Structure 1
Amino acid sequence: MRRPVLRRTPRSTSRTASRTGAALAVAGLLGALAFGAATPAQGDAIDDRREAAEQEQAENQQARDDAEEALEGLEGELGVVSDRILEIQAELPGARLALAEANDEVAKAKREAAIVAGRLKDAREQATDLRTTIDQDSDEATRMREAIGQMAREAYRGGGDLSSVTMILDADSSEDFVERADLMSQALRTRAQVLDDLQATESGNRNSAQRLGAVKDRIGELKAEADAKLAESKVAQTKAAEAKQKLEDLEAENQAKQDLLLSKKDEIDAKLAEIDAQADQIEQDLKDAIADQTERDRERERERQRQEQHNDPPAATTGRYFVNPTQTNPIYVTSEYGMRFHPILHYWRLHAGIDLRDYCGNDVYAGRSGTVLWTQYRSGYGNQVMITHGSINGHSVATSYNHLTSFVVSPGQYVKAGQLIARAGNTGTSAACHLHFEVYIDGATTNPRPYLGI
């Protein structure tokens, strides 16, 4: 802010400049200054960061789901460590966004505090300038009063005020008269000028005093506002520090968990090999059971196989082969059949069924009429029901229902399509209640989706 000019010479110019500068300064101080709202560009940047973070979170969630299924069946500490890494990676984008927004708040609070501090500084300088102006005008008024008093005393000692009569009578010549008249005029003009200046100075002083009062009031308001902005800045800095610490803690934990998981890779390989062997055993058990059934009805099966030996497995285009095995209607798939990748261990593994939305305790139904081969607990799969549905187009078909809470049927029992066979659950290696549904064609898993008509 430009400070008012306080030099007193020439008198009229200095006073005009001072009053103009003071008026402008006071008007500026008393005007409202809006801050705290982000400019459109700032708002767009924040929105872009938030959208990017949400996109990253969605991608991480998909990666997490894939990774969980890549290590499906891995139990104990290693499974917990892997899950925690995936949880952390899902939290990291939000933590980074929180830190960025906290830093934005700190920058905003500092900007606002600086604005208020600048306004407070200007107000204090304006108050100092006004006090200086008042002091100078008071000194000037005192000098002018003294000058007026001096003129009055001199006039009194000279016999009172001069008049045209005394000038004429006392003049020695016409030249003397003219000189005396000129001096008389100058004296009168000087006295009138001094009186005018005195009145103007006193009036200016009163105005300056009023402006000083307004500025003092504004200083008090600005001081309170500055204190509030300083407090806001400290709160924002505390939040930013907390957000930064949280992000650093997550990143450190993420690195430590990854290091631990990688150091246990051999152990994980061995456990996953066991899980794969178990899956192979399920397929072998299923093939053996099918073979037993085939042997019991050998002639009929042989005749059927001779007639249909060149047929293909049931195709998706032929329509639905299974009814909805869940209580959730319509069927809702939460995870598809297919290969999954683990981002830390770089495993590609098959998710051998589809996950269907179901809640713990919900009914689970037979997808098709058939015979229950077994009801048993298998690590990773949890409680499992396996049903064989005989031959379709010359190919044996079976289904398995996994992570169940409890069984309602028994091995060897014949069930009809849609019959209650179990309750949904979260047993085995499972992150939440759902039904892991598998379809076997000739003892090997295949994508169940087309056979469910979805």
Structure 2
Amino acid sequence: MTPKRKRLLSALLVLLVVGSAAVASPAGADDLDDKREAAQARADAADAAREAAEAQLEELDGAAQQAAADLIAVEAQLPAAQARVDAAAEALAKAQREQALIADRLQAAQDEEQAVVTTIAQDDDRATQIRAAIGQMAREAYKSGTDASGLDVVLGAESSEDFVQRYGLLSTALRTQSQVLDELSAIESANRSSQARLTAVKERIAELKAEADAKVAEADAARQEATAAKAAIDDLVAQQTAKKAALESQRADIEAQLAKIDAERSAVESELNAIIAEQRARDSANQAPTGSVSGALFGNPTSISPIYVTSEYGMRLHPTLGYVRLHAGIDLRTYCGTPIYAGRDGTVVWAKSRYGFGNQVMVDHGFYRGNSLMSSYNHMTSFVVSAGQSVSQGQLLGYSGNTGTSAACHLHFEVYVNGATVNPRPLLGL
């Protein structure tokens, strides 16, 4: 592998890592099927990311390809970096919200503590007053030598009127004494409840303070992560700007490469048209098309089954360079050095290296409904056939490679109808 290819693969590896990291692992450690599906999803995502990057780098070579690869690698990291920024910001906001809620609960608990302390103090004051009053009553009774019993009331009365008066005073005194004692008992009971409540509130305050301290630490950690994430994405944006500038500096070289590729493609089509004209001149039965070219006319040209298309036929906007160009075939997944087969019976027109196409095998399949039908197999590492050789469908043509303006091993498969490319997908039965 050349140093340039190694650098390119390093850049693409960044994309693979980011793409793989973006897929979350499934919940449920004991669910083996889910784990297998998740592992396959990660593998598929990595393959798709790699192949998308490779498609972006097609038609470039040298420093231009490396500059585009560097930019792709940096831009591939931006979504994950932005996700990290968003997650860090959300974590910080959540920590701050929870911190505020805990602070509110703590303040409410502290207010409740103060209210309970005030209630206890007021009850203590009232109980002290009641005890003082009871004591005063007892002392007064002792000093006067009076006995507030019912017998004293009956025996000490000098008249019925005195008896009624004495009995009324006694009843009032007894009621007052009973009420005072009941109030004192109620205060003492309420005070015990308040003390228990105060203990619970103090314990809750201690818990809330510990929780608040933990949330402060969590918010600080979230703030640090948010700062680090923002710094990381700022660095990536700076790198992106620099890589874009580096790629832009290759603009002239890129345009020259594209012009050279266009010239080579025009040359290929001119050669094919010359061959077709000569064939039509020889064969009076194929002077003009008699029907359309459709249906599954070609077999799988790769060793991957089922066929896996990594890049489609059609006009394609290059996401980093901004130009729109025709992708004149479809890219099929293959691996380096794997077999490439003839898609249909035919005759090899040429097997040689061409600029942009790399090692190319062009096969002429003759006429189908009066239409010239040919196919080409590109970027091969080597071929085992030669010009003029007859081949059968499924016969080995050579081995997959990464030659020409290619970013990784794959098969760029093209079909020509009357000397112009068409979409091979339906002709492969896909």
TM-score (norm 1): 0.71
Matched, 1:433 2:419: no
Change (3 A) 1:406 1:373: same
Q: Which residue of 1 aligns with 2:308?
A: 332
Matched, 1:419 2:395: yes
Q: Which residue of 2 aligns with 1:307?
A: 285
Matched, 1:341 2:317: yes
Instruction: Pick the aligned partner of 2:130 from 132, 138, 144.
Output: 144
CA contact (8 A) 1:70 1:349 kept: no
CA contact (8 A) 1:70 1:340 kept: no
Q: Distance in 2 between matches of 1:235 and 1:274?
A: 55
Deviations 1:361-418 (A, max 9, x none): 3221012333434434445333322333445566654322112233233444432221
Instruction: Pick the aligned partner of 2:193 from 196, 199, 207.
Output: 207
Q: Which amino acid aligns with 2:197?
A: R
Matched, 1:357 2:343: no
- The Cα of 1:303 is off from its aligned counterpart by 4.1
Q: Which amino acid aligns with 1:364?
A: I
Matched, 1:268 2:254: yes
CA contact (8 A) 1:360 1:433 kept: yes
Deviations 1:178-212 (A, max 9, x none): 66655554444333332222222222222212222
SS of equivalent residue, structure 1 residue 316: coil
Change (3 A) 1:143 1:393: closer
Q: Which residue of 1 aligns with 2:117?
A: 131
Matches within 5 A, 1:7-406: 65=52, 72-89=58-75, 91-162=77-148, 183-284=169-270, 286=272, 290=275, 302-304=281-283, 306-311=284-289, 315-317=292-294, 319-390=295-366, 396-406=372-382
Q: Distance in 1 between matches of 2:293 and 2:195?
A: 94
Q: Distance in 1 between matches of 2:95 and 2:326?
A: 52
Q: Distance in 2 between matches of 1:324 and 1:165?
A: 125
Change (3 A) 1:164 1:263: same
- The Cα of 1:160 is off from its aligned counterpart by 3.6
RMSD, aligned α-carbons: 3.7
- The Cα of 1:420 is off from its aligned counterpart by 0.7
Q: Which moved more, 1:95-104 or 1:167-176?
A: 167-176
Q: Distance in 1 between matches of 2:425 and 2:139?
A: 119
- The Cα of 1:449 is off from its aligned counterpart by 3.2
Q: Distance in 2 between matches of 1:307 and 1:166?
A: 151
CA contact (8 A) 1:322 1:367 kept: yes
Deviations 1:10-64 (A, max 9, x none): xxxxxxxxxxxxxxxxxxxxxxxxxxxxxxxxxxxxxxxxxxxxxxxx9xx99x9
Q: Which amino acid aligns with 2:411?
A: L
Structure 2 gaps, min length 5? 1-44
- The Cα of 1:91 is off from its aligned counterpart by 5.0
Q: Which amino acid aligns with 1:352?
A: A
TM-score (norm 2): 0.74
- How many residues were matched structurally? 383
SS of equivalent residue, structure 2 residue 402: coil
CA contact (8 A) 2:401 2:410 kept: yes
CA contact (8 A) 2:286 2:367 kept: no
Identity, in percent, stands at 53
